[in-house]
Chain A
Amino acid sequence: MRRLIQFLIVLTVSASVAFAAAKLPTWYNLPETTTPAPQSDIFEYIDVAVLAAAMALAAYLALKRRSRRGLLALTIFSLLYFGFWRGGCVCPVGSIQNVTLGLFDSGYVVPATVIAFFALPLLFTLFFGRVFCAAVCPLGAIQDVVLVKPLKVPTWLAHALGLGPYVYLGLAVLMAATGSAFIICRLDPFVGFFRLVPLGKWGQAIIQDGSWPGWDLGGRFNLLALGACVLLVSAFIGRVYCRFVCPYGALLRIMSRFSRWRVSITPDECIQCRLCEDACPFGAINKPTRRKNVSRSEGKGRLAALILLLPVMVAVGGWLGGRVSPALSGRNPTIRLAQRIRDEDAGKVKGTTDAAEVFRESRRPVVELYEEASGIRREFLLGGRLLGAFIALVVMLKMIRFSIRRRRDDYEADRADCLACGRCFAHCPREQARLKRIREGK
């Protein structure tokens, strides 16, 4: 044993001498480079568990218990927990990009917790409607709590702006699939606020070493300014981000259309009292259809025309998408670098950039870079075409939906638009009756 120890000592000594030109005095202990550990994994699993629990609770509160107050309390909790405590990252909205990149780039590994963050809200929505939006999503929550005076957005405008999420979704998927950028994260308007008051960081610091880390953490001005603007608008136009921007919302809308259960305004039956007509701050309540002014044949003709037009429009969209793809591909770092190198070599630009310098010093052949760039450009061309076709498809489906006259006898929350916030419940006299606040009957 002692031999072994001696041997080891000899080994370590000779190893440390190898390069040591500066022979440090023997009494000097070489300090170690500190490596503070990242947050433990356990927190991530807790986050997933809290997410699932919060959505289950939201479903219960919205569908079963029909409690707006409960949902509001849950909203505030989610804002604090998923927003300020967790710092907002990774949220289901952003996880679209991780999942996309994971599907397209086999070298990119998506952590299980991120997959859960992506899939759980979708699955819940498929069964219960958009209960995630109702009271769990921190982005929704922060808008919801600042909503002071909801204005009605004209229907045509709401429908036009409603295309936003699909366009954004398509763009985000294209950018993530090509490994270019996570644009949702770059333009997340609220994460700046969440980081301004990073409860999580403070909490952990206090738990871990009993110290107060101080106020020195803060968001960046640009992000905060964007967030402030969006919040200002959403004080009057309820959940403006959720309705007209959020790409995850686009996915949730699809899920929600086919959900198993959903929020209903009335606890039992609609008595056509019209009291709930303006109850929804998000314009999600559909009126019963008026039967008389529909000329069936006219409607049918339009429908047939639209269906015939569909493939044409999709093709046109695809073509247009291909045309704009070069502009989109300019966001890709490799393409940007290749462009820069080309411009520099052609003498079109003066000087150089850090990235160009790094490239030149790497001595990588320029043709290799150009080849890589044109490969990505091809991806963008294909992606741009698909994106254009996708947007055209969405538009056309929207129009087709308009021309299908579905009979509706009652006031109902729109399957896709309804955020399950529960604000309309209290407007329904049947609900009041259920709660025994008014006497039943007329």
Chain B
Amino acid sequence: MSEQKEQPDLTRRDFIRSGVRGALLAGVGAATGGLLARSRSGDTVWQIDPEKCIACGNCATYCVLKPSAVKCVHAFGLCEYCEKCFGYFDLDAPDVETGAENQLCPTGAIKRRLVREPQYEYKIDEQLCIGCGKCVAGCGQFGMGALFLQVRHDLCINCNECAIAAACPADAFRRVPADKPYLLKKKQ
């Protein structure tokens, strides 16, 4: 703003400067314009593809949040309400009593309730769940696969690069449109 000392040298420099400025403007404009043309108005969010997830446990510890924004969810429609639930009871549990020593979840986050003998309902207490995926592995291997991990969007802060995605060995994370933010398991 204070370049009014009219020297020929300065004006030439000014001229070059505005030329380059124009070029830079055009460059930024072209790049963003090109991207905008293909862009979507809505944002995207991270989500786990439950078909790919191997319940490795990284979700519990690699999230930038503590406890993790990833929690276990339950597809009730897939669940068989088994008395001996492999997501609820330890693999070596001697009996099907709801004692803590028989429970598989290390944080006691799965709540069991009798529906009608011998059917039991299992529900996840998300306050307690840390997303370790232990129950997911159990239900997936021996049961119906009704328990699976999902990024909970009331918790997730939608990092630019999800820290778990970077550490996921199964390449299970991907970005999904924010208006369809879950990849729930369904009956095939």
Contacts and interface: CB of A to CB of B under 8 A. Distances in A.
B81 A24 contact: yes
Contacts of B159: 89, 185
B73 A198 contact: no
A232 interface: no
A103 B38 CA distance: 10
Nearest to B21: A258
Contacts of B5: 409
Interface stretch (A109-117, A131-139, A304-312, A434-442): A109-117
Nearest to B57: A354
Tell me if B's interface is mostly helix, strand, loop or mixed: loop
A110 B77 CA distance: 35
Given A22-B81, A31-B76, A126 B25 contact: yes
B152 interface: yes
Interface in B27-49: 28, 31-32, 34-36, 38-45
Contact of A195 (B24, B34, B64, B170): B64
Nearest to B53: A358
A38 B77 contact: no
Given A99-B31, A218-B65, A112 B24 contact: no
B101 to A, nearest CB: 27
Contacts of A89: 157-160
Contacts of A257: 17
Nearest to A409: B5
Contact of B76 (A32, A264, A353): A32
Contacts of A409: 5
B77 to A, nearest CB: 6
A220 B167 CA distance: 15
**Of listed A35, A255, A257, A409, residue having the most chain B CB within 10 A:** A35
A254 B158 CA distance: 30
Contacts of B24: 126, 254-255, 258
Nearest to B32: A119
A284 interface: no
Interface in A9-24: 18-19, 21-22, 24
A260 B21 contact: yes
A247 B69 CA distance: 29
A200 B155 CA distance: 11
A326 to B, nearest CB: 21
B2 A185 contact: no
B93 interface: no
B41 A21 contact: no
Nearest to B148: A33
A195 B157 contact: yes
Contacts of B181: 35, 37-38
A201 B157 contact: yes
A123 B44 contact: no
A49 interface: no
A241 interface: no
Interface stretch (A90-98, A293-301, A366-374, A393-401): A90-98
A41 B43 CA distance: 7
Contacts of A119: 28, 31-32
A102 to B, nearest CB: 5
A75 interface: no
Contacts of B40: 109, 111-112
A200 B169 CA distance: 31
A178 interface: no
A65 to B, nearest CB: 13
Interface in B53-106: 54, 56, 64-67, 73-77, 80-82
Given A102-B38, A220-B64, A255-B24, 15 more contacts: A22-B80, A24-B81, A28-B121, A33-B74, A41-B41, A95-B160, A106-B38, A109-B38, A110-B35, A126-B21, A181-B161, A260-B21, A268-B2, A354-B170, A358-B170
16 contacts: A19-B187, A22-B82, A28-B116, A32-B76, A34-B73, A35-B182, A35-B184, A37-B181, A38-B45, A39-B153, A41-B178, A111-B41, A112-B40, A126-B28, A195-B65, A409-B5
